[in-house]
């Protein structure tokens, strides 16, 4: 009979007061190891090749719903009101937000062996509850969680569809990326869910910094920020994000070149929404 695995002790208070302890627990539970770090670093070029297309798809999705589209003008998903008809993928505020999402997604495949990597993901969660920004941003967790799930779905299928990448590398990259996304999801929930208030962080302890900065240091790539509007042109209202530069093989999928090889990614269908009283 196999001997039982020794039970690890986890200090509950440290999970809420010590970010490094929380990260260690998440890494241990998810079996995030040096193998995942190697997969992310060696597979970074495949992820980075997908980023421009993923950004276009994500913002096209966000603009399909008034509650998420409205946040680009109100910075708050709890407020009502009409969404301006002028808001579209080429609107200045959308182009600006695309710039940061592009840099953020590239950050996901940088070096997760550094504490700075995880500190920034935690800060991303904090910034969506009205803290750490000169102009507060309040985005409810339901929208953040679904957006992360949408990004995960797009990237998983694109990686698994790569025609030349060996299956073991596809699996390793998908597993590693999914673990990072789920840890980011935990950091989103950490700042939204009201639990362990007895250990809670005081809002007065939060330092306000510019977006893309951590401890006063710029950590998002300047070149990626500057080039965020380059690459794939913005699609028209009826097109998928790749239609202006790549042929669409079917109504549900399209192709993108990754490392000299074509791989396909799903095209989200626009939902049919019926508005009561119209």
Contact 40, 173 (CB under 8 A): yes
Does position 249 have pLDDT exceeding 50, yes or no? Answer: no
For the residues 16-30, what does the mean pLDDT come to? 97
* pLDDT score at 59: 96
3-state SS assignment for residue 154: helix
What is the token pair recorded at 120? 């920034």
pLDDT tens, position by position, 251-274: 455 565 555 666 666 555 544 444
d(CA 68, CA 71): 5
Say if residues 65 and 83 touch (Cβ distance below 8 Å).
no
Instruction: Find the mean pLDDT for residues 84-111.
Output: 88
What does the pLDDT read at residue 73? 87
Query: Tokens 């967790």 belong to which residue?
Result: 141
Per-residue CA distances from 59 to 56, 68, 240 (Å) = 5, 10, 12
Burial of 53 (0-12, 13-18, 19+ CB in 10 A): buried
Number of CB atoms found within 10 A of residue 40's CB: 23
Is the per-residue pLDDT at 49 higher than 80? yes
Between CA 246 and CA 242 the distance in angstroms is: 6
Residue 258 bridge partners (DSSP) = 261
Confidence of residue 195 (pLDDT cuts 50, 70, 90): confident
State the average pLDDT for the chain: 81
Distance CA 202, CA 110 (A): 31
- Beta-strand ranges (E) seen in the chain are 213-214, 217-218, 253-258, 261-266
**H helices of the chain, where?**
12-17, 19-30, 34-42, 44-62, 66-69, 71-74, 92-107, 115-127, 141-160, 167-192, 222-226
In this predicted structure, the answer to whether residue 176 has a pLDDT above a threshold of 90 is: yes
Q: What is the pLDDT of residues 216-228, one digit of tens each?
A: 776 776 665 555 4
Q: Which of the residue ranges 25-34, 94-103, 211-220, 222-231 would you say has the lowest mean pLDDT?
A: 222-231
Q: Where are the domains of the chain?
A: 35-79+88-194+214-228
* Low-confidence winner among 59-68, 114-123, 189-198, 218-227 (lowest mean pLDDT): 218-227
Mean pLDDT of 95-119: 93
What pLDDT is recorded for position 69?
92
| Domain 35-79+88-194+214-228 -> CATH class | mainly alpha
């Amino acid at each position: 009979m196999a001997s039982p695995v020794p039970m690890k002790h986890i200090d509950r208070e440290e999970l809420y007061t010590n970010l490094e302890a929380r990260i260690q627990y998440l890494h241990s539970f998810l079996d995030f190891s040096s193998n995942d770090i190697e997969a992310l670093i060696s597979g970074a070029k495949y992820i980075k090749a997908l980023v421009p297309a993923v950004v276009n798809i994500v913002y096209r999705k966000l603009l399909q719903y008034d509650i998420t589209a409205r946040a680009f003008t109100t910075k708050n998903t709890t407020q009502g009101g009409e969404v301006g008809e002028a808001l579209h993928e080429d609107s200045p505020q959308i182009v600006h937000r695309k710039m940061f999402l592009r840099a953020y997604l590239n950050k996901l495949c940088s070096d997760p062996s550094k504490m700075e990597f995880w500190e920034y993901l935690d800060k991303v969660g904090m910034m969506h509850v009205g803290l750490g920004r000169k102009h507060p941003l309040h985005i409810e967790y339901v929208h953040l969680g679904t957006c992360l799930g949408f990004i995960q779905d797009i990237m998983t299928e694109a990686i698994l569809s790569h025609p030349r990448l060996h299956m073991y590398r596809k699996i390793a990259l998908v597993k590693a990326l999914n673990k990072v996304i789920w840890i980011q999801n935990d950091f989103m929930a950490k700042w939204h869910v009201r639990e362990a208030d007895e250990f809670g962080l005081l809002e007065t302890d939060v330092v306000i910094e510019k977006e893309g900065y951590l401890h006063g240091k710029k950590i998002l790539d300047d070149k990626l920020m500057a080039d965020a509007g380059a690459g794939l042109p913005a699609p028209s209202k009826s097109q998928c994000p790749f239609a202006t530069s790549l042929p669409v093989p079917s109504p549900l999928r399209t192709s993108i070149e990754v490392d000299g090889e074509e791989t396909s990614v799903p095209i989200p269908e626009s939902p049919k929404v019926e508005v009561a009283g119209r």
